[in-house]
């Protein structure tokens, strides 16, 4: 059982980072190792070797990934690595007032990772900034079910 999660953060104004920090706090309290890596300067090799990942990403522009996530996203699209050994969870931040592109950056990552053979664990947490709820509180609640499912998967694979 690996009991370790790499948390990749794509953000513009920091909300996704707050979610990642909340996730580290909760995971470590459950005796699961967790490490945050901002997406800046990462490429698809961050997934080499496989394992369990948590993607925390917001949407910007008109349905775009944040600037700090662009290199990683493009690398996944162009390098097309085999991600068969990767399992991931997804926290997607957006704002429903952008009705045509709500949560699109999260969707882009979800689609691309799945296309490359990675297996998503659990449902996507999609947070709406116009809902009046705090994304880190939503993260804490969602993480209970997600970490249980993720570790079940580890046990099954062991």
**Which H helix or E strand runs over 8?**
strand 4-10
23 binds ligand FMN (CB under 6 A): no
Phi-psi bin for 102: left (phi > 0), alpha (psi -120 to 50), beta?
beta
Near ligand FMN by CB under 6 A: residue from 39, 44, 54, 60:
60
Near ligand FMN by CB under 6 A: residue from 63, 71, 81, 153:
63
Nearest approach in angstroms of CB 5 to ligand FMN is 19
Nearest approach in angstroms of CB 2 to ligand FMN is 27
Checking 140-146 for CB contacts under 8 A at 24+ apart, the result is 140/22, 140/26, 142/91, 143/22, 143/23, 143/26, 143/27, 144/26, 146/54, 146/89, 146/121, 146/122
Nearer to ligand FMN, 13 or 45 (CB): 13
Near ligand FMN by CB under 6 A: residue from 6, 11, 68, 147:
11
68 binds ligand FMN (CB under 6 A): no
Which stretches of the chain bind ligand FMN, using CB under 6 A? 11-16, 58-63, 66, 93-95, 98, 101-104, 129
């Amino acid at each position: 059982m690996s009991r370790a999660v790499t948390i990749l953060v794509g953000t513009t104004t920091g909300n996704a980072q707050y979610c990642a920090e909340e996730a580290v706090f909760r995971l470590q309290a459950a005796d699961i190792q967790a490490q945050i890596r901002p997406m800046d300067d990462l490429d698809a090799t961050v997934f080499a070797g496989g394992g369990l990942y948590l993607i925390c990403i917001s949407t910007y522009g008109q349905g775009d990934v944040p600037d700090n996530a662009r290199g990683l996203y493009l690398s996944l699209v162009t390098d097309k690595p085999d991600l068969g050994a990767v399992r991931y969870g997804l926290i997607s931040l957006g704002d429903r007032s952008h009705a045509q592109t709500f949560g699109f950056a999260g969707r882009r990552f979800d689609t691309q990772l799945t296309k490359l053979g990675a297996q998503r664990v659990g449902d996507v947490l999609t947070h709406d900034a116009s809902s009046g709820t705090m994304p880190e509180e939503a993260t804490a609640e969602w993480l209970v079910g997600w970490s249980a499912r993720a570790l079940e998967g580890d046990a099954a694979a062991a």
